[in-house]
């Protein structure tokens, strides 16, 4: 019964929020059955019958004042309980672990205190975690139903939220503020959320800005933190990936593939096939050769030079990608010639 309508209670907030939810739920059931039950009984009892007239409406001042004033006490109580829960969610404990969250269309980037990044949110169990959110384009909203928390990521602002997970495991993380969709479809790769499929391709947008929260024991969490600073393991060789292979993994993990193809076709952005060393014409009339410096600039300050025929809509990856990751992507692009 407790979780008939709500997700599992996986944070310290869940119990308090759910208590108020079910209090209002049963209050509503009682009021609804009471009011509508009485109304329907009247409809039956005072149905129109030959020779029976309606009685003139009188006044019942006491009754009217009662049902105008007495709900105030109940409403004050509901406000108070909601306020208490909200204030708990607002003020993070001083010893909370910090994670930096950057939202952009249509992926999350989580940065940990050691400088490592991930697209899945990893948190330790039984330890308060404070998230500082920002957005690089439009408004997004980070929502974890099992924790009962939600906060908008707003461009030009920092917003913060915190929680303490109470259970080791994996649960869903959604974007809750509408943020559009990509033009066309993109190829499906491993780790993509199971939404928006059309045959063997997928649509990308607000609805696919879904990832997971993985809650670890403290020991597992420390192992995770160490692992994110090294290149990932190449599944083909079982060893640390080469820069080229790492670039290919980042191409999917950083969602470059939602706007850049590797087969020569134009999507929201130019293709990467045959890009390296080619002459580029820009919208401001200038031109340049696509060398390593150009590609690095395009990743970190993407709208400083926009190729003719495209719009400057790419978010910056400065602060998201470390230098060796940018190197890896350049190495990967070079393999596409």
Partner 1 sequence: MATEVAGAHGHDEPDHLAPYLSPEAGRGIKGWLLTLDHKRIGLMYLVSTLLAFFMGGVFALLVRLELFAPGRTIMSAEYYNRAFTLHGAIMVFLFIIPAVPGALGNFVLPIMLGTKDVAFPRLNLLSFYVYLFGATFALYSIISGSVDTGWTFYTPYSTTSNTSVVSMVLGAFILGFSSILTGLNFIVTIHKLRAPGLHWKRLPLFVWGTYATSIIQVLATPVLAITLLLLAAERTFGLGIFDPALGGDPILFQHFFWFYSHPAVYIMIVPGMAVASELFATFSRRAIFGYFAIAMSSLGLALVGFLVWGHHMYTSGQSEFATTLFAALTMLVAIPSGVKVFNWTATLYKGSIVLTTPMLYALSFLILFTIGGLTGLFVGALSVDIHLHDTYFVVAHFHYVMMGGTVMAFVGGILYWWPKMTGKLYDESLAKKGWFFVFVGFNTTFLIQFIMGSKGMPRRYYDYLPQFETYHKISTVGSWLLLVGFLLTAWALIKSIRSGEKSPPNPWGSAGFEWQGTESPPVMQNFRVTPTITRGPYDYHLCSDEELFDGFPEDAEK
Interacting positions 206-265 with partner 1 (CB under 8 A): 206-208, 210
Residue 266 touches partner 1, criterion: CB under 8 A: no
Residue 31 touches partner 1, criterion: CB under 8 A: yes
Note the Cα 314 to chain centre separation in Å.
19
Residue 139 touches partner 1, criterion: CB under 8 A: yes
Is residue 188 within 8 Å of 201, Cβ to Cβ?
yes
Residue among 183, 218, 266, 318 that touches partner 1 (CB under 8 A): 183
What is d(CA 240, CA 247) in angstroms, rounded to the nearest whole number?
A: 13
Q: How far apart are the first and last CA of the chain?
A: 60
Which residues, 56 to 85, sit near partner 1 by CB under 8 A? Answer: 56-57, 60, 63-64, 67-68, 71-72, 75-76, 78-79, 81-85
Tokens coding 76:
């004050």
Residue among 46, 287, 297, 304 that touches partner 1 (CB under 8 A): 46
Residue among 39, 73, 94, 219 that touches partner 1 (CB under 8 A): 39
Q: What is the DSSP string of 178-194?
A: ---EEEEEEE--TT--S
How would you classify residue 115: left for phi > 0, otherwise alpha for psi between -120 and 50, otherwise beta? left
Residue 185 touches partner 1, criterion: CB under 8 A: yes
Cβ proximity to partner 1: between 205 and 243 the closer is: 205
What is d(CA 216, CA 125) in angstroms, rounded to the nearest whole number?
A: 6
Task: Pick the piece of the chain touching partner 1 (CB under 8 A) from 21-29, 117-125, 233-241, 259-267.
Answer: 21-29
Cβ proximity to partner 1: between 56 and 238 the closer is: 56
Residue 15 touches partner 1, criterion: CB under 8 A: no
What is d(CA 165, CA 147) in angstroms, rounded to the nearest whole number?
A: 7
């Amino acid at each position: 019964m407790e979780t008939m309508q709500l997700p599992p209670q996986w944070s310290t907030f869940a119990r308090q929020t759910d208590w108020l939810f079910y209090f209002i739920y049963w209050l509503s059931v009682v009021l609804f059955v009471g009011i509508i039950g009485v109304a329907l009984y009247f409809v039956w009892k005072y149905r129109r019958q030959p020779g029976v007239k309606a009685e003139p409406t009188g006044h019942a001042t006491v009754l009217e004042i009662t049902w105008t004033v007495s709900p105030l006490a109940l409403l004050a109580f509901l406000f108070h309980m909601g306020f208490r829960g909200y204030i708990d969610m607002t003020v993070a404990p001083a010893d909370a672990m910090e994670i930096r969250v950057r939202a952009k269309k249509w992926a999350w980037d989580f940065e940990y205190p050691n400088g490592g990044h991930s697209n899945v949110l990893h948190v330790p169990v039984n330890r308060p975690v404070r998230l500082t959110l920002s957005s690089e384009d439009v408004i997004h909203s980070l929502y974890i139903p099992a924790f009962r928390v939600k906060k908008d990521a707003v461009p030009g602002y920092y917003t913060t939220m915190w929680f303490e997970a109470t259970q080791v495991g994996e649960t869903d993380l959604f974007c809750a503020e509408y943020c559009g969709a990509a033009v066309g479809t993109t190829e499906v790769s491993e780790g993509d959320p199971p939404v928006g499929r059309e045959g063997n391709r997928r649509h990308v947008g607000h609805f696919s800005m879904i990832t997971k929260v993985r809650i670890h024991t403290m020991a597992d969490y420390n192992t995770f933190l160490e692992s994110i600073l090294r290149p990932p393991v190449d599944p083909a060789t079982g060893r640390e990936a080469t820069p080229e292979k790492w670039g290919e993994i980042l191409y999917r993990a950083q969602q470059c593939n939602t706007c850049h193809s590797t087969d020569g076709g134009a999507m929201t952005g130019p293709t990467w096939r045959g890009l390296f060393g080619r002459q580029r014409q820009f919208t401001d009339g200038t031109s340049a050769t696509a060398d390593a410096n150009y590609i690095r600039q395009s990743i970190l300050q993407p709208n400083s030079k926009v190729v003719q025929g495209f719009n400057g809509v790419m978010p910056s990856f400065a602060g998201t990608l470390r230098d060796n990751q940018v190197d890896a992507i350049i190495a990967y692009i070079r393999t596409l010639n």
